[in-house]
Amino acid sequence: MEKFIDTHAHLNSEYFKKDRFLVIESCLLNQVSMINAGTNILDSALAVDIAEKYPDFVYASVGVHPSSAEEDFDIEKIKELAKSKKVVAIGEIGLDYFYSSKNISDEEFFKKQKDIFIKQLSLAEELNLPIIIHSREAFDDLYEILKTRKLKGVIHCFNGNVEDVKRFLELGYYIGFTGIIFKENLDEVIKETPNDRILIETDCPFLTPPEFYEKRNNPLSLKIIKDKICKIKGEDIGDQIYNNSLKLFNI
């Protein structure tokens, strides 16, 4: 059976509160392993708890998402969580200029986002961990920050254009593709991305590919994403994608 790694899942989210372990079991039976990504301190801690229940195949990343930039931020707590051997990355972290805050001006909000992002980049450097990056309408600022650092990582759920992808490839980043490739035309971006820099991810419970049998997305939809990428590439690069995930996250 072909092996997969969902490099960005949220089985630690509320949406899987009732049945996350059933979903994980069915993924493991189908040779689909996963990294559950944190978005705040609480769900990062949960991602670690979930990962530690399994000797292998279920991993975690810990970090505070830019949308949570107004919550109490404590880098020491993230550092503590990152001590688990099952933590393979710091993330998801980044910049999101799409949403405004209800409480503070955009200027203040985006400044906070940058501030916590930079602190978490330094933590990733200190711990020698790759980063999982979320970016929405923020590629220019993101690029300016990342080019001053020597980090490894993935631009998750990529939906920029060819010029954008070239910039991040040049910096050495991997590019993560989700079910968004069914909603937006990213064919040229996928062609531009070398096979050894492609990762696949579901971002479940969101971004369900249209052909998937369930409305709530889960890591089992990964094959649909892989098939579409291979079709665009004109060859089966499933093994390469799988090996890229092992390499980046040191699994």
Residues that bind Zn ion (CB under 5 A): 203
Strands 4-9 and 32-37: parallel
Question: What's the count of helices (H) and strands (E) in the chain, helices before strands?
Answer: 9, 8
In the bound state, the residue with its beta carbon closest to Zn ion is: 203
To the nearest 10 degrees (0 to 180), the angle between helices 139-146 and 162-170 is 10
DSSP codes joined into one string, 187-206: HHHHHHS-GGGEEE---TTS
Q: Which is nearer to Zn ion, 47 or 82 (CB)?
A: 47
The answer to whether the CB of 200 falls within 8 A of the CB of 238 is: no
Please confirm whether the linkage preceding 210 is cis (ω < 30° from 0): no
Least distance to Zn ion, CB of residue 65, Å: 7
Least distance to Zn ion, CB of residue 236, Å: 27
Least distance to Zn ion, CB of residue 78, Å: 16
Q: Which is nearer to Zn ion, 43 or 203 (CB)?
A: 203
Q: Which is nearer to Zn ion, 96 or 203 (CB)?
A: 203
Q: Which is nearer to Zn ion, 13 or 104 (CB)?
A: 13
In this structure, the dihedral spanned by the alpha carbons of residues 139, 151, 3 and 188, taken in order and rounded to 10 degrees, is 30
Q: Which is nearer to Zn ion, 191 or 216 (CB)?
A: 216
Least distance to Zn ion, CB of residue 5, Å: 15
Least distance to Zn ion, CB of residue 92, Å: 5
